[in-house]
Structure 1
Amino acid sequence: MLLWWLIGVPLGLGAVLALADLRPARSPGASVGGTEARAGRAVALAGVLTASVVLVLAVVAAVSRPATGAALFAGIRAGWAVDSLSAVLVVTVAAALLAVLVFAAGEPELRTGRFTGVMLLFAGAMLATVTATTLAPLLMAWEVMGAASWALIGYGYRDPGAVDSAHTAFLTTRFADLGLYVAAGAALAGGAGSLALDQLPAAAGGWRDVVAAGLIAAALGKSAQLPLSFWLSGAMRGPSPVSALLHSATMVAAGAYLLLRITGLLGSVGWAGPLVAWVGALTAAGLGLVAVAQRDLKQLLAASTCAQIGYMVLAAGSAAIAVRASAEPDESAAGIAAGTLQLVAHAATKSLLFLAAGAWLAALGTKQLGRLPGAARRFPLVGITFTIGALSLAGLPPLSLWVAKDTVLAATLDAPTPMAGPLYALGLAGAAIAAVYSAKALWFVWWPARPAAAAPGTPSGKEHTELEQTPTGRVAGTAAPPLIVLAAGAALLGLLPLIGPAILAAQLPAVWELVTSAVVAVLAAFVGWRWATRLPAPGALQEWLYLERAGRHLVVRPVSALAAAAARFDDRVLDRGVGSLARATVGLARLLDRRGEPAVDGAVRGIADGARVLGRWARRPQTGQLHQYYAQTSVGFAALALLAVVVIVVS
């Protein structure tokens, strides 16, 4: 019953709020009337209270570990459960939801039923995803999560760029999500009829490879890993609280979580573990370089999200390699714990950074690094908390991601494969790159502001002369609590294994590994700070390796063209066909009305007139005189006798 409440409360109340308020989105800075302002505050309060209830339910579920299920189809059940892995995720999702809704309550344009309701719907779908133990309910929740993310990215639907970005994100992830359907079909064909996640390795023969391939494709697409990373760039057109929730703690983490959940399946297929590990390591390094080249703070954070999720994917691949080598599922525990620790530490860190970027965007009207010098000095609370998050992202000791990333790298180095060394080196290079782009961001926000000038060494251009929205000149009071709490999480969550190694079953890195990564991070951060304005920024890196162009040409435009062709077919063939049939029916009815109906009416009137004449004739013999009846009877018998004679003669 507890799980039904945990999932049902955000889904139900989210649906009510979203459907009760279908007003157009307001542009940032737009004025709000008194009645509307009061209604907005009530909606924001309802969202915060709901998120608080969800957090309490999540904590209770994490402690009590409930499980439930229901019959779905013949032989297939829908199952949900909270175990050691999902317990961490449900609390993380609920806490991130509460922090983001508290922050969003300070932005008038986001105090709407549509925004708050869809955020709750998304969180409910994410909770259903992470607790699902069978593939069918996971697929359903996955679909709701994708639809809700599309609505949130395109929240400001009057902005064509936001709508285009929402379409790109939706179509790209949907393209990858087809893998879930392929996997479900292959599991049924291969004999894993229950579709339980822990039973997928039992699929027969080549069907198991198809199941693994489908789930990997869906997970990598949702987590914005190479080569499908580009959709996260456009998704930054959504409100900053959306970025903080969807693109750091929940949606992009869902794919990595799925891979951590199915390490048994990945380990049973020889190619899956190495593939996943290399994709994660390459994304950690490659998208880190993309982050270094960005001039937009949210774009920098978006690229770094792809890179940091790469460590979770690397952990899943390393765990699968361990399973493959030992044929023992328990061998994956260290890798799964490392990936989970990275997920939790990253969720707190990146939610904090996105919210801080959103606070500066609202206050200063820009997120361009060249226009942010002095932002941290002007708004000290935001600056200090952003600094904690950035230093954690850089992997500097003793903050969260220092230990979390080293735990992943330690699990990678311990993986029983000749590729362990190269994977570790690539992961360590990604950590160094993270320190560079984190220090770059810090330099820009702390550099003293220079009136009417961009920061030294920053290229001038349109992005540095125009603001993205009307600045308010202040940071909302509701921003302080979530920023402080998330800053504490960014500083401390990754240290849990140091406090108690049994927590999350994480295997501590060796001392030399911790020292090595710390030295690398410090040196790389010095490079990023010292040469922040002179770091190379090739066009390919600024344009996200041109993957967005490729994605638009290969996925978005073909699907859009197909949709447009289908719309034209509907308008020109189906709609016209239905209209022509309707017009023909009306014409036939009018023709019958003009010509057929008079004929029918005439026939009916003729029959009636004939019946009246026959009736009058039939009344004439009815005189009441017996001798006339006898005479009529005699005539009748005579006619019958004559008929009999004729018949006899003829025969």
Structure 2
Amino acid sequence: MTLWLLIALPLVTGAALLVTGRPAGRVAPAVGVGAAGLTLVLAVFAAVTRPEVSAPLLAGLRIGLAVDGLSAVMVLTVAVVLVAVLVFAAGEFGAAESRARFHGLMLVFAGAMLVTVTARDLVVLLMAWEVMGACSYALIGFWWREDHRVDSGAIAFLTTRAADLGLYLAAGAAVAGGVASLTLAGLPAAAGGWRDVVVAGVVLAAAGKSAQLPFSFWLSRAMDGPSPVSALLHSATMVAAGAYLLIRLEPLLAATTWAPTVVAWLGVVTALVLGAIAVVQRDLKQVLAASTCSQLGFVVLAAGAGGPAAGTGQLVAHAATKSLLFLGAGAWLVGLGTKDLRRLDGAARRYPLLGIVFTVGALALAGVPPLSIWVTKDAVLATALADSPALYVAGLAAALVSGVYVGRVLAIVWKPAGAAPERLNRLLLWPLPVLAAAAALLGIGGLPVLAERFSRLVGGPAVPAPTWSELAASGLIAVAGVVAAASWKRSFREIGVLADWLHLERVARAAVARPVGRLAVVLARFDDRVV
């Protein structure tokens, strides 16, 4: 019963707000925050009791949902971030906004992620996967009267939707390969070459959802949505879903000869390249978006290198850190009216509390000791080192780049400031110290003395924990990147190909969208004139 309630509460409450619409606008923030709070209580109870349910669906298939160690960590992460984001949104959105629509969509979005992380078969997973995609489209284009925001929502939706076809391919190949029940645990048993097709479909869908190369550009477009949407989408839902799926299906990847290597290199190359893209961005939210692709690249690297526990630790620490940073950026946008780094000089000095908690999150993102991602990233790197020294070196290079983009941002926001602007709504600030504490402390499970226990909790195989010397080395690299960037007196040169996210959107339009559109026109004419 607990698991059904955990899933139904945000989904049903969100649907009710959507159906009611504007008449519920006045009470929507209270209802949304209340539902999120109850969801968190249920998530804690589910994490402790580990419920499992199974119900018949159709044609011999069953709905399978369960909370194990990995799911327990994820449902808690989703629930905590949901509460923080909706409290912030209650302070950001005024009466003129469609508050019922916003809170309703956010609750349904989070509910779909809860289904995703508790699903035990591809049928349920696919349903939740699709709901997340639809909600992301609606939330990115929430201010629908502005055409460019709607266009951004459509591009994000179509890009991830194209990659999502991989899950349908995987489901069909699993049936053809003899996995009749379509359970996730049964996928490695798919016969012969069908298993490789299943893996290829899963990797394609996960890369698209988590904005790994070459799909990363859609996350840049997602920045046109409200800041609370960015905070939830980038931390505990949608973008995290693809990386989570690779962690969940690590045994499936390991059952092939090629997938672990491909996935590991996909993750580390994305971490390095998108980190470089983050360095040259002039928009604070674009810096954070590129860093999301980069940091989730470490999670994908862990899945490929056979370290699901290390990947889970990175995923959770990143969720707390990134939700803090996006809400901090959103608070500055409310107070100062800009997210352009060239106009955010001294922003941290103007709002000291906001500046301090943002700095904690930024330093955590860079992997500076003793904050969380310093430990979780090193757990991933230790796994990579056991798999391939080349992966480890590339990962260290990506860690250095993380320090550079963080140092650049902090140098700007801590410049001497002018007069302090008006005070911010307290609801915008209340969630931030809690998230800052989480960003600082959540890496504790990756320390050498606790790594084995965390690995047993998540249920993955035992992998080498980072040694204290490795932790010291990566910490020094992160600090060096931050200090070097913060000390750099000149403005960072905007490199066109990096500033425009490698022109990936243009390539996708030219290589995929236009040819498909022309083919559709030809087929439509054939249908009208011949058929």
Task: Give the TM-score range, shorter chain.
Answer: over 0.9
Q: What is the match of residue 163 of structure 1? A: 150
Query: Within 5 A, what are the aligned runs for 1:7-406?
Result: 7-21=7-21, 40-109=25-94, 112-319=99-306, 335-406=307-378
Q: What is the match of residue 480 of structure 2? A: 523
C-alpha separation in 2, matches of 1:426 and 1:502: 25
- Which amino acid counterpart does residue 473 of structure 2 have in structure 1? T
Alpha-carbon offset, residue 107 of structure 1: 1.5
Q: What is the match of residue 322 of structure 1? A: none
Alpha-carbon offset, residue 252 of structure 1: 0.6
Contact 1:168 1:552 in 2 (8 A): no
Contact 1:288 1:433 in 2 (8 A): yes
C-alpha separation in 2, matches of 1:124 and 1:568: 42
C-alpha separation in 2, matches of 1:56 and 1:230: 36
C-alpha separation in 1, matches of 2:286 and 2:517: 25
- Which amino acid counterpart does residue 475 of structure 2 have in structure 1? A
Query: Within 5 A, what are the aligned runs for 1:554-565?
Result: 554-557=511-514
Against the structure 1 CA distance between its residues 314 and 532, is the aligned structure 2 distance closer, same or farther, given a 3 Å change threshold? farther
Q: Structure 1: which 5+ runs fail to align?
A: 24-35, 320-334, 452-470, 574-651
- Which amino acid counterpart does residue 282 of structure 2 have in structure 1? R
- Which amino acid counterpart does residue 337 of structure 1 have in structure 2? A
Contact 2:350 2:418 in 1 (8 A): no
- Which amino acid counterpart does residue 256 of structure 1 have in structure 2? A
Structure number with larger C-alpha Rg: 1
Residues 194-216 of structure 1: per-residue CA shift (max 9 Å, x gap): 10111101111110010000010
Contact 1:154 1:163 in 2 (8 A): yes
C-alpha separation in 2, matches of 1:107 and 1:552: 35
Q: Secondary structure at the match of 2:492?
A: coil
C-alpha separation in 2, matches of 1:392 and 1:105: 27
Contact 2:109 2:237 in 1 (8 A): no
- Which amino acid counterpart does residue 272 of structure 1 have in structure 2? A
Alpha-carbon offset, residue 348 of structure 1: 0.4
Q: What is the match of residue 6 of structure 2? A: 6
Q: What is the match of residue 408 of structure 2? A: 440
Contact 2:404 2:485 in 1 (8 A): yes
1:492 equivalenced with 2:492 (yes/no): no
Query: Within 5 A, what are the aligned runs for 1:421-440?
Result: 421-440=389-408
Contact 1:80 1:132 in 2 (8 A): yes
Alpha-carbon offset, residue 554 of structure 1: 3.3
Alpha-carbon offset, residue 44 of structure 1: 0.1
Contact 2:345 2:414 in 1 (8 A): yes
Alpha-carbon offset, residue 548 of structure 1: 1.6
C-alpha separation in 1, matches of 2:241 and 2:487: 36
Contact 1:152 1:238 in 2 (8 A): yes
Q: Secondary structure at the match of 1:414?
A: helix
Alpha-carbon offset, residue 549 of structure 1: 1.2
Against the structure 1 CA distance between its residues 70 and 533, is the aligned structure 2 distance closer, same or farther, given a 3 Å change threshold? farther
C-alpha separation in 1, matches of 2:344 and 2:522: 45
Residues 107-144 of structure 1: per-residue CA shift (max 9 Å, x gap): 23456110000000001100000100101100011000
Against the structure 1 CA distance between its residues 49 and 507, is the aligned structure 2 distance closer, same or farther, given a 3 Å change threshold? farther
4+ runs of 1 displaced by more than 6 Å? Answer: 560-570
C-alpha separation in 1, matches of 2:408 and 2:145: 33
Query: Within 5 A, what are the aligned runs for 1:477-556?
Result: 477-498=426-447, 500-505=450-455, 508-531=465-488, 533-556=490-513
C-alpha separation in 2, matches of 1:562 and 1:20: 41
Q: Percent identity?
A: 60
Alpha-carbon offset, residue 476 of structure 1: 1.6
Query: Within 5 A, what are the aligned runs for 1:588-603?
Result: none
- Which amino acid counterpart does residue 10 of structure 2 have in structure 1? P
Residues 605-646 of structure 1: per-residue CA shift (max 9 Å, x gap): xxxxxxxxxxxxxxxxxxxxxxxxxxxxxxxxxxxxxxxxxx
Residues 522-548 of structure 1: per-residue CA shift (max 9 Å, x gap): 111111101164334310100001112
C-alpha separation in 1, matches of 2:520 and 2:31: 38
Between Structure 1 and Structure 2, how many residues are aligned? 519
Against the structure 1 CA distance between its residues 567 and 124, is the aligned structure 2 distance closer, same or farther, given a 3 Å change threshold? farther
Alpha-carbon offset, residue 561 of structure 1: 6.5
C-alpha separation in 2, matches of 1:101 and 1:197: 32
TM-score by length of 2: 0.94
Contact 2:234 2:319 in 1 (8 A): no
Q: CA RMSD in A?
A: 2.1
Against the structure 1 CA distance between its residues 2 and 557, is the aligned structure 2 distance closer, same or farther, given a 3 Å change threshold? farther
Residues 150-197 of structure 1: per-residue CA shift (max 9 Å, x gap): 100000011111101000000000000000000000000010111011
Contact 2:383 2:465 in 1 (8 A): no
Q: Structure 2: which 5+ runs fail to align?
A: 456-462
Q: What is the match of residue 460 of structure 2? A: none
- Which amino acid counterpart does residue 45 of structure 1 have in structure 2? A
Contact 2:310 2:446 in 1 (8 A): no
Residues 202-259 of structure 1: per-residue CA shift (max 9 Å, x gap): 1111100100000100000000000110000000000000000012221111000000
Contact 1:443 1:532 in 2 (8 A): no
